[in-house]
Amino acid sequence: MEDCKIEGRWWIHGADARAEFGTLSRENDGRLLLVVKIPQGLSVDETPLQFFETPGESSVPRVIIGRDANDKPVTLFGCYALRGSSTGMRTYNINVLAAVQGLEFESWSQRCIHAINLDVDFLHEWLGGKILDTVKMPDGGSAFRIPRESELLIDVSSGVQLRIVRWIGGPSSSQ
């Protein structure tokens, strides 16, 4: 979450209920918080009675599906609601363990991503490799050579492999 805020519609009472407007943001301490405010018309006497409702009426699902302002899916995991209220607004402060933008999941264990492409600078240093090799020329001088392309194939878990391929882009220059 680079911009640290997602405004959108959230199904905080389950997929069959009405979507509510809210904002997911990253707090200064790093935790994720979804705040949903639902208008309501209660008298002053009715407001305190909300806190005595049965637990099922105020709880939220552990996985919440949402849609951002561009109607792209967002899935929230490990959700737990702390509810506040006033006569005109029911507020849900929902703590979120993890959020995934662009994908809709039904559960934490659902498999969805089959392959990814990462562009990681200086990965060769982590793996003990070099960008350039120094070679001796016939005249006794030194020159640089790009090492032969090679790949690493690492078994991460059953049926999951990590393939690291070195690729050097075209020449570039700057002043």
Q: What is the pLDDT of residue 105?
A: 85
Buried b (16+ CB within 10 A) or exposed e, 9-27: bbbbbeeeeebbebebbbe
In sequence order, what are the beta bridge partners of 105? none
**What percentage of the chain has pLDDT greater than the value 90?**
29
Q: 173 falls in which pLDDT band (50, 70, 90)?
A: low
Does residue 3 have a pLDDT over 60?
no
CB atoms within 10 A of CB 125: 10
**pTM here?**
0.58
Q: What is the pLDDT of residues 28-65, one digit of tens each?
A: 888 899 999 988 776 666 666 666 654 444 478 999 99
Which tokens in the block code for residue 156?
């991460």
Say if residues 147 and 137 touch (Cβ distance below 8 Å): no
Give me the amino acid identity at 92: Y
Q: Where in the chain is the domain with CATH 2.30.110?
A: 5-101
Q: What share of the chain is helix, strand, coil (3-state, %, to 5)?
A: 5, 40, 55
Q: Which fold has domain 5-101?
A: Pnp Oxidase; Chain A (2.30.110)
